[in-house]
Each structure stands twice: as C-alpha cells, then as structure tokens.
C-alpha cells in the first residue's frame, strides 16, 4: 500500500483540521497507510542556521521523502495559509547544500491533496494559495487540483468545539479519497493541468529563438503587467504574427504538444505533458501598427497600436498585451472568479 503523510496546518491540540484528517484516515483504512507529520519543533526559517540543517528540519525532510504522497489539511488565516505551514514549506524548498539547486528536494514531484475546515469560505483562498505555492518551479509538487474538499464548520464547532460533518460533506471527502488513491496509483497518468513560470519561460524561449513577433496574453499577461505571479494559471496565451502559423504549429508539435481544440483561424489550444496547455492566437499585422484577429463568426476583431507593449516579470522583459487591451478583453462576457481576480490586479497597476 501507498504511504500518505498527513500535514495539519493547525498546531492546536483539538484542531478541527486534525479531526478532519482523522475522518479521512478512517476512509483510507485498508487502502493506504497514514502517518501524521509532527513539525511543531521546526524553527523559523533563518539562513544563519540553515547549514547544517537543524535536526527537526532533517527529520521532516526524511518523513516527506519516505512518503508516497502528502495530504495537507489546513485552516485559512486572513485569506491565506498559516505562517507555520508556510515556514515548513519554506524549509522543504531550500537546497540541501549551500548553492546547490541541482540535487532534487524531498518535496519535488510529490503528489499532494488539499482539504480544509474553516469559516464561510470553506478555506477556498487557503487552498488556492497553497496550490500556487506548491507548484512554484523550485518546489514542483504535483497538486491534485480537483476534487478538493472545503468544509464550512457548523456553529457547534465554534461554540462547543464539536465538529459535525453533514452527509454531503462526508460524500465530498469520500470522492476526494477515491480520486487521490487513483491519483497516486502506479497506473495513473497525471495530465498537467497548470502552468508555472518555468513553463512560461521555456515557451517564451521557443518563440524568441524563432524570432517571430508575439505578445503574452491572458492571465499570465496580467501577471506580467503586475510584475509577479498572483494566481495559478491553466494555460499560456500567446498572440503572434499569423504569417508564422504553420511554422509555429510545426515547432510546438515537434516539442511534444498535441492539438486539443482547433478553432483556426481564431485560436488553437495544444497540450504538452511537460509544459501543459498553450493557447495560440494568430494576429494579422498591418504596416500602420494596427492588427486584427479572426472571430468565430467569420468577422474580425480589430486592435489599435496601443494594445501592445512590454512588461517585466522576474527580471525578464516580455512583449505583452497592454493594460488598456487587457481591460477591454475582460468585457463582453460573464466574468469567472479568475477574471474578477485579474480585473482587481489590473486596477492596482
């Protein structure tokens, strides 16, 4: 059987998330072995004591390395994760030897499930930010993004310390248990459903080497304008000079991308097992700086020269859709949660 290491995001003895973990442990009985990680003695991350690593840090690294998978149960603190949980992950993300970024870390490639019990938001923001953190290019954990379980605690939990799960909540946990057992199975092939900044830069390297004109669009384009990653991104949106359509498509397919959705000449979505999703949008460029993109009804979207610019993300200058264009592109349809997030980011710029 697989060994799953439970990490509780609350250090409180009677933690609701510890009780939630115990519910899951019962559901896993006979299907996986469970161990709880004790990290209460891990010191605050401090480079003065990093090498050699403190004994508590060595112990948690060994426990993580020995496990086949991790399951994190965490409350939400101020729309994010608790500081002590972040501190644990900070230690797990640090190199084992000073300056050595080549030796794999215990958490690299580790499959992770996320659940949480809390207030009205049912820990949604905590789980979102944990996913973003754990999938950073130097951590590279494999988070099961769906299904996850968020529990809105009953009133008795707050007033009497008694957490009582509804049948619907138990059913959600059971679905997550079944899905995670499949996710960590040796027979399971994980499809990459998110892109990180390393994926983005590898795609941009391909485009730069082709020496074609392109602009970063979509959610990554918003984050480039803002100067840092603010959320998890499913795909990488690229607007590019349409005259290079065949050349770009051929190159992407040689790099392992397969076409998933073909709406040419409007857009084509491709997926790579290594780099995830990319959505390419051919733009016809005019000599006066304007451009146009085919719509799905045989017409055209037309864009002015000020719809295009550059931004800097992690020290790299990137051609991208302008702030003005991003605001225009976020109109005319029913906004999803990620669109509302992106618009809030755009308003801060």
Q: List pLDDT tens digits, range 51-101.
A: 999 999 999 999 999 999 999 999 999 999 999 999 999 999 998 887 776
SS3 323: helix
CA atoms of 17 and 163, how far apart (whole Å):
10
Confirm if 57 and 65 have CB atoms less than 8 A apart: no
Residues 6+ apart with CB under 8 A from 53: 61, 91, 96
* pLDDT (average), residues 287-304: 93
Distances (CA, A) of 95 to 101, 182, 221: 6, 31, 30
Q: What is the pLDDT, as a whole number, of residue 186? A: 73
- Looking up tokens 């500081």 gives 83
* pLDDT (average), residues 200-206: 95
pTM for this prediction: 0.58
345 φ, ψ to 5°? -65, -45
pLDDT of 188 over the 70 cut: no
Confirm if 317 and 310 have CB atoms less than 8 A apart: yes
139 φ, ψ to 5°? -105, -50
Query: 116 is written with which tokens?
Result: 């949480």
Query: 126 is written with which tokens?
Result: 């905590």
CA atoms of 29 and 23, how far apart (whole Å):
10
Q: List pLDDT tens digits, range 226-264.
A: 999 999 899 999 999 999 999 999 999 999 999 989 999
CA atoms of 264 and 245, how far apart (whole Å):
10
Most confident range (mean pLDDT) of 145-149, 190-194, 225-229 is 225-229
pLDDT grade for 297, boundaries at 50, 70 and 90:
confident
On average, the pLDDT of the chain sits at 92
- Looking up tokens 């009780």 gives 19
Closest CA to 259 of 272, 249, 269: 269
**pLDDT > 70: percent of the chain:** 98
Closest CA to 58 of 43, 68, 71, 47: 43
CA atoms of 82 and 96, how far apart (whole Å):
24
pLDDT of 189 over the 60 cut: no
CA atoms of 320 and 204, how far apart (whole Å):
11
**pLDDT > 90: percent of the chain:** 78
pLDDT of 162 over the 90 cut: no
pLDDT grade for 187, boundaries at 50, 70 and 90:
low
Lowest mean pLDDT among 26-30, 164-168, 318-322: 164-168
- Looking up tokens 């004790």 gives 38
Q: List pLDDT tens digits, range 26-54.
A: 999 999 999 999 999 999 999 999 999 99
Query: 160 is written with which tokens?
Result: 């009497």
Q: List pLDDT tens digits, range 110-129.
A: 999 999 999 888 999 999 99
Closest CA to 150 of 180, 176, 112: 176
Q: What is the pLDDT, as a whole number, of residue 324? A: 96
């Amino acid at each position: 059987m697989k060994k799953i290491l439970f990490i509780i995001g609350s250090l409180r003895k009677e933690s609701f998330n510890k009780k939630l973990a115990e519910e899951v442990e019962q559901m896993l009985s006979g299907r996986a072995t469970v161990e709880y990680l004790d990290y209460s003695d891990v010191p605050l991350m401090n480079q003065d004591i990093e090498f050699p690593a403190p004994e508590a840090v060595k112990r948690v690294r060994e426990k993580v390395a020995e496990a086949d998978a991790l399951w994190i149960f965490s409350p939400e603190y101020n729309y994010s994760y608790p500081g002590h949980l972040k501190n644990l992950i900070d230690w797990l993300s640090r190199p084992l030897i000073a300056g050595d970024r080549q030796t794999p870390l215990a958490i690299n490639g580790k499959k992770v499930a996320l659940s949480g019990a809390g207030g009205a938001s049912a820990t949604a923001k905590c789980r979102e930010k944990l996913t973003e953190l754990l999938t950073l290019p130097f951590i590279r954990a494999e988070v099961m993004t769906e299904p996850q379980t968020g529990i809105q605690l009953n009133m008795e939990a707050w007033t009497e310390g008694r957490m009582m799960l509804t049948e619907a909540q138990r059913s959600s946990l059971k679905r997550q248990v079944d899905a995670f057992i499949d996710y960590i199975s040796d027979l399971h092939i994980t499809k990459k459903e998110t892109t990180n900044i390393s994926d983005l830069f590898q795609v941009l390297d391909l485009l730069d080497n082709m020496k074609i004109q392109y602009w970063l669009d979509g959610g990554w384009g918003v984050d480039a304008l803002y100067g840092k990653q603010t959320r998890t991104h499913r795909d990488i949106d690229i607007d590019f000079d349409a005259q290079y359509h065949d050349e770009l498509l051929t190159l992407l397919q040689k790099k392992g991308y397969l076409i998933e959705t073909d709406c040419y000449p409007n857009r084509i979505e491709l997926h790579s097992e290594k780099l995830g999703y990319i959505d390419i949008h051919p733009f016809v460029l005019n000599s006066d700086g304007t451009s146009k993109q085919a719509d799905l009804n045989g017409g055209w979207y037309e864009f002015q020269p000020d719809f295009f610019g550059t931004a800097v993300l992690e020290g790299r200058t990137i051609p991208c859709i302008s702030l003005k264009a991003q605001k225009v592109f976020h109109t005319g349809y029913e906004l999803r949660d990620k669109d509302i997030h992106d618009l809030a980011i755009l308003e801060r710029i």
